[in-house]
């Protein structure tokens, strides 16, 4: 925050842009009853501020809890090229309605995000249309491997994302020589989708014969995920590159990754923590189809144990929408992916309500954790000098998730008609209230690219 004469005067006179009053605030010291003053997009005061500060706007937050703004580090907003499925405007609108203040968007758009021009095109598309702050991944590929050290440091870049499976063309990197080239160029933590493409191709005949979506977790079995994870972790260890393994779905991977935490961080998703095979496939059909797949109860329980054991670092939604028409194609030709950014907070708050994790742990997995792992400047904590990104939630609110609530262009959620306890009621992005009383307020999208700190190659 640049201290202009106007801001200096307002600080002197204790006059904020926004005051959040009487909130239960999740801080690094615990949950405290505090007021928050926001000025120039930053947090400038914490404590008992009622009557001592004035503000242009006020949020009365008695009975609510305030988390550091939720950061969803894995979304697919499909723009450019696939806007019949999702757009940056609709995706980020869904994000803020769901209490999310920042997103990392993935490179499998059309065109793929592989060059500086591709990245700039996305930043341009987001300008004036994104409701929350944002960063975009560059895809790691044979065609740009030697440029990745330069590309990963471009403004607005979240880092490098590699698809070892479940992709196509230049974005599929399943060859050892290509993976080693990618790993050797760059220092930032590299995100990876780890499924063994060779094994998946060999096993596709299983589902082509059955045509049954219930066989999805048998085709893309735990071994397919474990083989790829072991392979990339071993290569990264030899080269000295930090990894972020996305959407870990199996007990086998978690047991392995628990022994490689010095350089490897771990993401899980709400759908892998919540849905369970075979029931979800029987009930939802291909709407439950994801890569890697939702697995049975033994794997789901292993993911929860990994959260309790501290193996998991981040929860990301892997929001990857497809149209209902696309999903209606006969399996296995139906596409994999579901909406998730808007339901991340409600689903996880319901798990908090059911005692599966604490609110402070949730804040670490969705705010402090992403900021720490990826070096996001000014985000992830409610503390003086940090961006005034706030997610206000009512832990006692009982709601029913519905397709009608979903802002995504695709217009559906696998959690349709699911009753939850705990709900986001207001969203503040850099001091601007964009959602109030569960409703988008009358403002224009003002999301900005995130900035990233310099990090050393050995930083965990």
φ, ψ at 173 (rounded to 5°): -125, 85
Among 72, 133, 313, 318, the active-site one is 318
Six-digit token string for 445: 């999208």
DSSP state of 103: E
Closest by CA to 76, choosing from 110, 104, 116, 114, is 104
Distance (Å) of CA 205 to CA 165, 200, 220, 285, 299: 17, 9, 12, 19, 24
Active site residue 176: no
Six-digit token string for 131: 């409701």
DSSP H/E element including 204: helix 197-210
How far apart (Å, rounded) are the C-alpha atoms in residues 285 and 14?
Answer: 56
Q: Decide the pairing of beta strands 419-429 and 432-436.
A: antiparallel
How far apart (Å, rounded) are the C-alpha atoms in residues 409 and 416?
Answer: 16
Cβ within 8 Å of residue 234, ≥6 positions away: none
End-to-end alpha-carbon separation of the chain, Å?
27
Sign of torsion, CA 251 183 72 279? Answer: negative
Give the CA radius of gyration of the chain.
21
Collapsing DSSP states into helix, strand and coil, what is residue 159?
strand
How far apart (Å, rounded) are the C-alpha atoms in residues 306 and 428?
Answer: 31
Catalytic residues: 318
């Amino acid at each position: 925050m640049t201290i202009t004469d106007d801001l200096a005067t307002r600080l002197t006179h204790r006059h904020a842009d926004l005051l959040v009053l009487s909130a239960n605030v999740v801080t690094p010291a615990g949950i405290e009853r505090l007021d928050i003053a926001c000025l120039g997009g930053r947090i400038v005061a914490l404590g008992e501020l009622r009557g001592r500060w004035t503000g242009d706007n006020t949020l009365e937050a008695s009975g609510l809890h305030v988390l550091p703004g939720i950061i969803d580090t894995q979304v697919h907003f499909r723009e450019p090229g696939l806007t019949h499925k999702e757009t940056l405007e609709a995706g980020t609108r869904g994000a803020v309605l769901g209490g999310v203040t920042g997103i990392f968007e993935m490179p499998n758009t059309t065109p793929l995000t592989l060059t500086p021009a591709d990245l700039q095109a996305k930043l341009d598309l987001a300008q004036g249309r994104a409701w929350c702050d944002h960063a975009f991944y560059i895809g790691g590929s044979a065609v740009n491997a030697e440029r990745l050290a330069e590309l990963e440091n471009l403004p607005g870049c979240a880092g490098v994302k590699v698809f070892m499976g479940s992709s196509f063309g230049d974005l599929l990197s399943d060859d050892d020589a290509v993976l080693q080239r990618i790993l050797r160029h760059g220092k930032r933590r590299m995100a990876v989708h780890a499924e063994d493409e060779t094994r998946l191709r060999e096993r596709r005949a299983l589902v082509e014969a059955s045509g049954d979506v219930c066989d999805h977790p048998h085709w893309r079995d735990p071994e397919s995920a474990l083989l790829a994870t072991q392979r990339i972790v071993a290569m990264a260890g030899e080269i000295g590159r930090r990894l972020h393994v996305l959407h870990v779905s199996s007990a086998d991977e978690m047991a392995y990754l628990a022994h490689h935490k010095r350089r490897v961080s771990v993401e899980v998703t709400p759908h892998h923590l919540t849905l369970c095979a075979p029931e979800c496939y029987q009930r939802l059909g291909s709407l439950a189809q994801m890569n890697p797949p939702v697995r049975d109860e033994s794997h789901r329980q292993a993911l929860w144990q990994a959260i309790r054991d501290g193996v998991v670092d981040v929860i990301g939604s892997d929001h990857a929408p497809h149209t209902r028409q696309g999903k209606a194609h006969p399996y296995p030709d139906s596409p994999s992916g579901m909406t998730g950014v808007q339901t991340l907070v409600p689903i996880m708050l319901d798990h908090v309500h059911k005692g599966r994790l604490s609110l402070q742990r949730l804040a670490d997995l969705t705010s402090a954790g992403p900021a720490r792992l990826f070096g996001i400047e000014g985000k992830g904590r409610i503390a003086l000098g940090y961006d005034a990104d706030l997610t206000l939630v009512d832990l006692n609110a009982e709601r029913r998730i519905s397709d009608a609530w979903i802002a995504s262009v695709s217009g559906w959620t696998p959690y349709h008609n699911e009753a939850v306890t705990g709900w986001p009621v207001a969203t503040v992005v850099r001091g601007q209230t964009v959602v109030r009383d569960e409703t988008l307020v009358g403002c224009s999208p003002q999301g900005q690219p995130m900035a990233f700190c310099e990090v050393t190659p050995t930083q965990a």
